[in-house]
Homo-oligomer: A and B are copies of this chain.
């Protein structure tokens, strides 16, 4: 198993797992937030504006965590410095 295929394999597997594992908690967290927002609207319809505004701010912060994972995955696939070094060395 040469160096390039090892690094490629590790990048592929890690990128996939990072996104997969990184999707668990944000999805559950957003589900909980949305769930409670619906309950809050049902209880206090007059506050629907405050509730949906707070909900969207919260969803944005939770989504940002999922996006960190997506960014790491994309870096590992398309802008991987270790792969770049190996390709440069092989081509040099």
**Residues of chain A having any CB pair with chain B under 8 Å:** 1-48, 50-52, 54-59, 61-66, 68-70, 72-73, 75-78, 80-83, 85-87
Q: How far is the CA of A24 from the CA of B50 in the complex (A)?
A: 27
Query: How many chain copies does the complex carry?
Result: 14
Q: How far is the CA of A58 from the CA of B52 in the complex (A)?
A: 10
Q: How far is the CA of A76 from the CA of B80 in the complex (A)?
A: 12
Q: How far is the CA of A21 from the CA of B61 in the complex (A)?
A: 17
Chain B residues contacting A28 (CB-CB under 8 Å) are 25, 27-29, 31
Q: How far is the CA of A9 from the CA of B13 in the complex (A)?
A: 10
Which chain B residue has the least Cβ–Cβ distance from A5?
B3
Q: How far is the CA of A51 from the CA of B16 in the complex (A)?
A: 35
